[in-house]
Amino acid sequence: MESKIDWKSLASTTLAQYNLSAPQVVFLGHSENVTFRVDTRNNQNLATSTENDEQGLFLLRIHYPIAKFRDRIWQQNAVIESELMWLTALHRDTDLVVPYPVQNLSGSFITSVPIDETSRMLNCTLLKWVDGSPLDTEPTAMQAREIGELMAQLHQHASLWELPSSFTRPKYDWEQLHASLMKLRSLIDAGTISLTDFAVLESVVQQISNVMTALEKTRANWGLIHADLNENNYIFYVGKARAIDFSCCGFGYYLYDIAHTLLHLFPENRRSFVRGYQSVCQLRDDYQSILEAFFLGAIINNFAFLASQPNEHNFLLETVPYISESFCSKYLRGKAFLFEL
C-alpha cells in the first residue's frame, strides 16, 4: 500500500482540518510513522493559544509504520489517544519540554483521513515542534548524565500520574519479548540465524523471564516508559536534554527503559547515565544484574524489528553471532558485561 500513497498530498489533506494559515510541509522520514515538519512562521497561526504560538512549527504524524509486522494495535485510536494524554500531562505537570498535541477543527487530537478513493482511513496527529539539535557524535559524560536525569524525570511523572480510565498502551513484558523471539525463529530456515545462536537467544529469554517473574510490578519499578530514548529521540537545547517521539511508549519496567537507552551508549557513558538517573530517582541495589537482562531483551526486540526488513538481514547475519558470543554467553555464565570497557 505504501508505494501507492502520495504522502505529501495526504499531509495537505490532513492539515486542512487544522486552524493553520498556509502551512509549509517538509518530509522528515518514515519509521513508526510518516512524519512532516510543518512551518507557519511566516503566516498568522491560530492553532493554539499557548506561549509558544510565535514559534509556528509543528510535527505532523501519519500513523503508518514502515515495519510490516508492526502490530496494528499501535494505530488504534485509543492507543494513540493515550500517548497524547501522557504528553498533555507531561506538558501540564512538569517543566519538561515535550511535543504536546494540537486539536483539529473538530476539537479532536486525532484526524482520520481517507487513502485515495479507498475506504481505508489513516490516523494523523499534529504536535507542537520541540526546538533542539540531535547529537552527531557519542554524548559527552555530562550529556549522558543529562539524558539519565531526563529519563528519571519521565519515570517520576509516570509513577505519580493517575491514569485516565480509558488509558491503554501496549506492554513491554514477557509475552512481548517471547513474541519477538518467535519472529526470529522464522529466520532460521532462511539461514540468517543459526540454530546454535537461536538456542542461545532462547536461553537468554528464559533467564529474562525468571527476572521478570521475580520483579513485582509496583509503582516504584513498573509504569509508563518512553521505550525508545535513543540518539534519534533525544535532542539538546541550551545544554538540556529533551525527549521527542513517544510513539513507542508503553507499560514496562523502568529498568527496561534504561537498558534500552544504554544500548546506544559506550560503557563509560552508561555509568554517567546511571549517575544522572540516580540524582533524581534511586535505583535498587541489584540494578546492574537486572539491567543486563533487560539490555539483552532490548537487543532481541530490536532484532525482531529488523527481521521484518529484508534489507537488514545481512546486518543480522553478522550481528547475531557477535551478540551471542560477546554478551549472551557472558550473561548465561553470570559474568557482568554492561559497564565493562
Residue 68's pLDDT is: 57
pLDDT in tens, 202-249: 999 999 999 999 999 999 999 999 999 999 999 999 999 999 999 999
Q: What is the CATH number of domain 2-128?
A: 3.30.200.20
Per-residue pLDDT at 292 exceeds 60 = yes
Q: Which three cell numbers stand for residue 154?
A: 519521565
The domain made up of 141-332 is a member of CATH 3.40.50.920: no
Residue 253's pLDDT is: 98
Provide CB contacts within 8 A for 162, sequence distance 6+. none
State the alpha helices, DSSP H only, in the chain. 7-15, 77-93, 141-160, 174-189, 195-214, 254-262, 267-278, 287-307, 313-323, 329-332
Q: How distant, in Å, are the alpha carbons of 177, 181, 184, 197 from that of 188? A: 18, 12, 7, 10
pLDDT in tens, 121-165: 899 999 999 999 999 999 999 999 999 999 999 999 999 999 999
The CATH 3.30.200.20 portion of the chain extends over 2-128
pLDDT in tens, 238-258: 999 999 999 999 999 999 999
Mean pLDDT of 304-319: 93
3-state secondary structure at position 101 = strand
What is the chain's Cα-based Rg?
21
Residue whose C-alpha is closest to residue 174's, from 331, 27, 300: 300
Residue 67's pLDDT is: 66
| In contact, 133 and 237? CB cutoff 8 Å | yes
Q: What is the spatial distance between Cα 290 and Cα 211, in angstroms, rounded to a whole number?
A: 7
Per-residue pLDDT at 3 exceeds 60 = no
Q: Which residues pair with 122 in a beta bridge?
A: 113
pLDDT in tens, 154-188: 999 999 999 999 999 999 999 999 999 999 999 99
Res. 48 pLDDT band, cuts 50 70 90: very low
Provide CB contacts within 8 A for 211, sequence distance 6+. 289, 290, 293, 294
Q: What is the spatial distance between Cα 233 and Cα 236, in angstroms, rounded to a whole number?
A: 10
Helices 195-214 and 287-307, packing angle to 10 deg? 130
Mean pLDDT, the chain, integer: 92
> Which of the 8 DSSP states describes residue 139?
P
Query: How many residues belong to the chain?
Result: 341
Residue 230's pLDDT is: 96
Residue 40, CA atoms < 13 Å, CB-side half-sphere = 24
Residue 285, CA atoms < 13 Å, CB-side half-sphere = 0
Q: What is the spatial distance between Cα 77 and Cα 166, in angstroms, rounded to a whole number?
A: 11
Helices 195-214 and 174-189, packing angle to 10 deg? 180
Residue 73's pLDDT is: 80
Residue 234's pLDDT is: 97
Q: Pairing state of beta strands 240-243 and 234-237?
A: antiparallel
Q: What value, to the nearest 5°, has the Cα angle with vertex 311 and ends 306 and 317?
A: 65
The CATH 3.90.1200.10 portion of the chain extends over 141-332
